[in-house]
A and B are shown apart, each in its own frame.
Chain A
Amino acid sequence: MMLTLVGVSEGMLRDQESRTRGVGADIIIRPSGSSVIGIAPPNIREKLVAWAAEQPHVVQATGVVIYPLGGISTVHGVDFDELTKMGGGFTFLSGRSFQSGQEAIIDEYFAREKKLKVGSTINLLNRDWIVSGVFRGGKLTRMMLPRKVLQDVTATTDKVSVIYVKLDDPSYTSEVIAHLKMTLTDYPIYSMDELASQFSVNSVPELKTFIGVVVTLSVLFGFLVVFLAMYTAILERTREIGILKALGAGQGYVLGILLRETILLAVIGSATGIGMSYVTKWMIATFIPATMTQAIVYHWWPISSAITLAGALLGVFYPAIKAARQDALESLSYD
């Protein structure tokens, strides 16, 4: 559970980072007052796109409208030609770009999850859209509409959510950001590298809290499972413990056996958890590839194993002490 939830957190951030990089821009301008990641409201005046494009070392700027659909789903309004030019082009697995105000394009993952293909209809914003193309994933978002159309539908005419800026030479990124900030003083402006570095669990306080809760639950769960299992096992094995004591086993010997069994249980549990995280990864990739992405977070393997071991040792502590202190004669009489 721990590895899957951490994997989903990491996976979704990495997926978002990868799609953001897929735009091909060097700089991103976000709305005033928005956080570094998260859904940006369409608050930027569209004429700033043209202004940005005229700045030194800027070869292209394009504005994108992002509209939330509920939960973590969004639809993006883009100028397809500008985005194609900036990112080096889209690869369509089937169909083509949108050519009318009723058409939408979707990525392969969204198409697979929702079982859509070219010609299918999707209902967004209380309107039906015809899928005109399915493109290879990794480009900005999963669903795109013509920018102008989305602006009209959502009453955000002449506004965009973010502006992507491409430079003639990426080595000028810092200089251009400094230059842009002189005019756009209230706007968060980041290099794409800087933005990418923010796509980590540490940059999202809610996610850190979430993972903290998951870890705490895992320790509690491990503790309870092992406690109950070992308590029951020790009751059932009272006579066996009596036999060991009759053979001369001291408290340390009995304690050692139970601790070794618990450690073995924790190791098997950890290995099973790692295996299960691959199973959930496959299930997510197969059944809900557009909604979630799960990564295999290798550096969490030792952490989750240590947490499992801690929970298990905590759980075995009382039953093991109780078993070690059992009276040999009473234990032998137990049926």
Chain B
Amino acid sequence: MTEPIIGIRDLRKTFRSGEVDVHALRGVDLAVERGEFLAVVGPSGSGKSTLFHILGGLTPPTSGTVLIDGQDLMKMSDGDRTKLRMKSVGFVFQKYNLLPTLTVGDNIEIARDIAGVKGPLNKQFVEVLEVLGISDKMARKPRQLSGGEQQRVAIARSIVNGPAILMADEPTGNLDTENSTAVLNLLRDLNKRLGQTILMITHNPEAAAFADRIVHMRDGQLHAA
């Protein structure tokens, strides 16, 4: 049996809010296999976003063990977590988070530039652009695109460097039903076509249904579906 791409044991995260400690994660255990499409479902304040931020290397855990593609997050410095974001994790956010002054092409190119990747796009990624339906929109600015198109650009950007894990935080939160379905179908397609591991955070059970496996989060703990 292969090593899980994400391995979490007794993960805890405590924030200091004024003079009060807020326990956002209270002992999370989770294993995600390579190539799996996992949905983490839970209401607001359940701790799912905190889990997303820790797994993405955006904030350090308080205690526990977190292995991402064999790298131990607990032992990582700020610089190491920056490298993790550059090489191993791709993000898709609810608000798309495209750079508004850059074109679609440049938004994708800057992710390659940050990772130090030179040269033309590989053939497989060019095909992905076709599948995402944005290959003819590379010269456009984000404001010239619909929400669904912007999210597809964000998906393209997140996988351009071939990350081990694609992390999506409420990827359909700003989209209508039609675009939501399209984006979720694309994520599932990428998962099947490329074997891309995807961890999706959502509060929407219909969106979660596109995943291979669903786990529920409540009060800072995970519960199997």
The size bracket of the interface on A is 10 to 19
Given A240-B99, A247-B85, A329-B53, is A253 in contact with B114 using a C-beta cutoff of 8 Å? yes
- Contact between B82 and A250 (Cβ–Cβ < 8 Å)? yes
- Contact between B97 and A246 (Cβ–Cβ < 8 Å)? yes
- Among A202-251, those with CB < 8 Å from B are 239-240, 242-250
Question: Out of B56, B59, B84, B114, which one reaches A244, CB within 8 Å?
Answer: B114
- Contact between B58 and A247 (Cβ–Cβ < 8 Å)? no
Does more than half of chain B's interface fall in helix, strand or loop, or is it mixed? helix
- Contact between A248 and B87 (Cβ–Cβ < 8 Å)? yes
Query: In the complex, how many angstroms separate the beta carbon of A254 from the nearest chain B beta carbon?
Result: 10
Query: In the complex, how many angstroms separate the beta carbon of A256 from the nearest chain B beta carbon?
Result: 10
Does more than half of chain A's interface fall in helix, strand or loop, or is it mixed? helix
* A-contact 0/1 string along B87-113, CB 8 Å cutoff: 100010100011110000000001100
Is A332 an interface residue, CB under 8 A from the partner? yes
- Contact between A247 and B111 (Cβ–Cβ < 8 Å)? yes
Query: Within 8 Å CB of A329, what residues of B?
Result: 53, 58-59
> Which of A245, A247, A253 is packed against the most chain B CB atoms within 10 Å?
A247
Query: In the complex, how many angstroms separate the beta carbon of A234 from the nearest chain B beta carbon?
Result: 14
> Using a Cβ cutoff of 8 Å, how many contacts connect chains A and B?
48
In the assembled complex, the Cα of A250 lies from the Cα of B57 at a distance in Å of 13
Query: In the complex, how many angstroms separate the beta carbon of B108 from the nearest chain A beta carbon?
Result: 11
- Contact between A248 and B82 (Cβ–Cβ < 8 Å)? yes
> Which of A240, A243, A253 is packed against the most chain B CB atoms within 10 Å?
A243
- Contact between A243 and B114 (Cβ–Cβ < 8 Å)? no
Question: Out of A243, A245, A248, which one reaches B115, CB within 8 Å?
Answer: A248
In the assembled complex, the Cα of A329 lies from the Cα of B53 at a distance in Å of 8
- Contact between A246 and B110 (Cβ–Cβ < 8 Å)? no
Is A328 an interface residue, CB under 8 A from the partner? yes
- Contact between B99 and A328 (Cβ–Cβ < 8 Å)? no
Question: Out of B87, B114, B157, which one reaches A249, CB within 8 Å?
Answer: B114
Question: Out of A240, A242, A247, which one reaches B114, CB within 8 Å?
Answer: A247
- Contact between B110 and A248 (Cβ–Cβ < 8 Å)? no
Query: Within 8 Å CB of B85, what residues of A?
Result: 245-248, 328
- Contact between B58 and A328 (Cβ–Cβ < 8 Å)? yes
In the assembled complex, the Cα of A5 lies from the Cα of B174 at a distance in Å of 57
Task: Identify 12 residue pairs between A and B in the complex whose beta-carbon atoms are under 8 Å apart, listed by A's number.
Answer: A243-B99, A245-B85, A246-B56, A246-B58, A247-B110, A248-B86, A248-B114, A250-B82, A253-B114, A328-B58, A329-B59, A332-B93
5 additional contacts (CB under 8 A) given A247-B86, A248-B85, A249-B82 = A240-B100, A243-B98, A247-B91, A248-B87, A332-B58
